[in-house]
Amino acid sequence: MRSAPSPQVVEDGPAVRADIALNVNGRERRLTIDTRMSLLDVLRDRLGLTGAKAGCDRGHCGCCTVLVEGRRVYGCLTLAVACGEARVVTVEGLGGADLHPLQEAFVARDAFQCGFCTPGQLCSAVGMLDEAARGWPGSAAGPATDAPVPVLTPAEIRERMSGNLCRCGAYQNIVAAIMDVAP
């Protein structure tokens, strides 16, 4: 019987660098980065914006969620070089000088315990509410209807927020906080 081929060890080549000019929380940030860097690593390690968290670093938990051109993305799965000159908003930039209404609702509803998932939950909820306002259908409500704006029931919010895990299990209060802000 032939043995399985041993895995090839591939030597890393020289790093390839690129210039990017992100607009992060309203401020232009020009950087030269290794093209292999994730957006999350650029935000945390190069720009010192540590709100977005590295929970799993592989697209499972949503702790790294930020907004790129208004759409929620996993920062750990997004190559920073692919963002080019995009507008990026992190939890630090959600509310400006004041808290964002969702942040206020999270506080009022006690929608966290350890808080590790909270920056991702907040950015994801902001993106999700925008998606709903644009009429993007969710799957919990069944087939898409002609209604211009989907009704955000708790079940619908849970489904739309299912990419953001909370290891403390604060889901009930997270949903309640989002319901407070949802139209």
Sites of contact with ligand FES (CB under 6 A): 54-57, 59-64, 74, 76, 112-118, 166-168, 170
Structure tokens at 3: 């043995």
Whether the CB-CB separation of 120 and 164 falls below 8 Å is answered with yes
Give the C-alpha separation, 108 to 182, whole Å.
15
Closest to ligand FES by CB, 22 or 63: 63
Query: Is 114 or 149 the residue whose CB approaches ligand FES more closely?
Result: 114
Q: How far is the CB of 41 from ligand FES (least distance, A)?
A: 11
- Residue number with CB closer to ligand FES (20 or 117): 117
Is 62:53 a contact under the CB 8 Å cutoff? no
Smallest distance from the beta carbon of 53 to ligand FES, in angstroms? Answer: 7
Q: Nearer to ligand FES by C-beta: 51 or 62?
A: 62
Give the separation between CA 34 and CA 68, rounded to whole angstroms: 20
Shortest distance in whole angstroms from residue 146 CB to ligand FES: 34
How far is C-alpha 173 from the geometric centre of its chain's CA atoms? 19
Nearer to ligand FES, 15 or 168 (CB): 168
Amino acid found at 53:
K
Helices (H) and strands (E) in the chain, counts: 6, 5
Q: Output the smallest distance, CB 69 to ligand FES, in A.
A: 18
CB of 180 to ligand FES, least distance (A): 18
> By the 8 A CB rule, do 62 and 119 touch?
no
Which amino acid type is present at position 96? Answer: G
